[in-house]
Amino acid sequence: MKKKLVLIIVLCLMLVIALSTMVLMLLKAVSLKADEIVYEYGQPLHIEYTSLLDTEDQQILDSLSVDESQIEYEENQTYPKVGEYSIPLHYQSFFKKMTTSLKLIVKDTTSPQFDKSTNEINLFVNDQLDIEASFSCSDLSGCKLLYDTSQVKLNQEGSYPMQIKAVDPYENENIMDFMIHVKSRPVASVGNQVTIVNGLLIVNKKHGIPSDYATTEDPVAKVQIQKLISDMQALGYDISSDYNGYRSYSIQRDLYNSYVSKYGQAKADTFSARPGYSEHQSGLAFDLHHQNRKLVKNENEVQWIAQNAYKYGFIVRYQKGWEAITGYQAEPWHLRYIGSKAEDIYRSGLTLEEYLGVEGGNYR
């Protein structure tokens, strides 16, 4: 009897254990296949919640209700703001209400794009540098351009390798390399245009020169004219160290006006340039003087200059017989600095106009 009783008790205990295990199993929370979901910012939100629950129990799946109330959306958009959100999932397991939580992470990992960019920015000396006129960027989260132009010297010629970054608020960035070239200004924008042919500036009555083209003598030309003068002096020629070189627009204007009031315009135009048309304004022209400060006219000096000026890089710009082309009377004292092509022009026997193939003669 006792044996039977013990057996019944043991069986009952086993039954209780089995039943409670079954109940515990039924009450056990359903786990999620993933605890968190990562979305790229800008992606419209659409989550298949039922497929996230690790169960095939249709009753549980049918009971699922999701609370998306914590998710903050961008205004008028179907995508959430960057951030982390908790999404409670409620479901009925056996006879108990259960809740589990899904974490939604919305990240911005997308780099900003350049909408406008360039490989190089070309500037003239003393131009304004405006990087944002050449570059712009866009990004869903907003972006700004970062660059450092502190090394760029705008007041002289030079080239600078540069880097520009487009960055968004989430440390995503896009980097571009480009160059800034600062070049000297070939054409000043005041009044007339500069005419340069084969690298040589032409100034005559058809081709003017801007009033602010030069502010002083060309430094190379200056060295050369001083060398020519000192060589002439060493050879015993009557030549003054005191030449007449650069003239500003306003000085030329005053000079020309004084000639016009003295001789009339027609006469003045044969030997004096109108302001804006004088080669002296270029800083490349020089009038040589005798020791008595008068313009060089003596045959000895005139001849030596005519035959030797090219050795110093000069040409005698206005010669006898050339008046119709150069637009001026002969001026054996007036030298124009040319550089290495001076000898070629000298040997050609041509006016600078003919040599360069440009129009000369009188004013339009």
Q: Give least dist CB 274 to Zn ion, A.
A: 14
Beta carbon nearer to Zn ion, 287 or 343: 287
Of 85 and 318, which has the nearer Cβ to Zn ion? 318
Q: For Zn ion, which stretch binds (CB under 5 A), given 83-91, 233-241, 260-268, 280-288?
A: 280-288
Residue 177 corresponds to which tokens in the numbers above?
A: 């390399």
Residue 202: exposure state from Cβ atoms within 10 A (0-12, 13-18, ≥19):
buried
Run of H or E residues at 22 = helix 2-27
Burial per residue of 28-40, b for 16 or more beta-carbon CB atoms within 10 angstroms, e otherwise? eebebeeeebebe
Site membership for Zn ion, residue 334 (CB under 5 A)? yes
Inter-residue contact 166 to 139 (CB < 8 Å) = yes
Whether 331 is catalytic: yes
Distance of closest approach, residue 184 Cβ to Zn ion, in angstroms: 25
Give the nearer residue to Zn ion in terms of CB position, either 222 or 334: 334
Exactly one of 279, 301, 331, 353 is catalytic; name it: 331
For 227, the 3-state DSSP assignment is: helix
Name the one range near Zn ion by CB under 5 A: 52-60, 196-204, 281-289, 341-349. 281-289
Tell me the residue nearest to Zn ion as measured from the CB: 334
**Which of residues 112 and 317 has its CB atom nearest to Zn ion in the complex?**
317
How far apart, in Å, are the Cα atoms of 181 and each of 122, 124, 129, 178, 233?
A: 5, 8, 11, 10, 45
Question: Nearer Cβ to Zn ion, position 334 or 341?
Answer: 334
Helix (H) / strand (E) containing 176: strand 173-183
Which region among 43-51, 75-83, 210-218, 329-337 touches Zn ion (by CB under 5 A)?
329-337
Q: Which amino acid is at 149?
A: T
# binding residues, Zn ion (CB under 5 A)? 2
Taking CB under 5 A as the criterion, the residue among 57, 238, 287, 354 binding Zn ion is 287
Q: Which of residues 314 and 355 has its CB atom nearest to Zn ion in the complex? A: 314
Find the binding residues for Zn ion in span 96-115 (CB under 5 A). Answer: none
Compute and round to an integer the Cα radius of gyration of the chain.
Answer: 45
Give, in order, the Cα–Cα distances in Å from 74 to each of 78, 88, 153, 167, 276.
7, 21, 45, 21, 64
DSSP-assigned beta bridge partners for residue 126: none
Q: Contact region for Zn ion (CB under 5 A) — 126-134, 221-229, 294-302, 332-340?
A: 332-340
Strands 36-40, 96-107: pairing is parallel
- Interface contacts to Zn ion, rule CB under 5 A: 287, 334
Catalytic residue list? 331
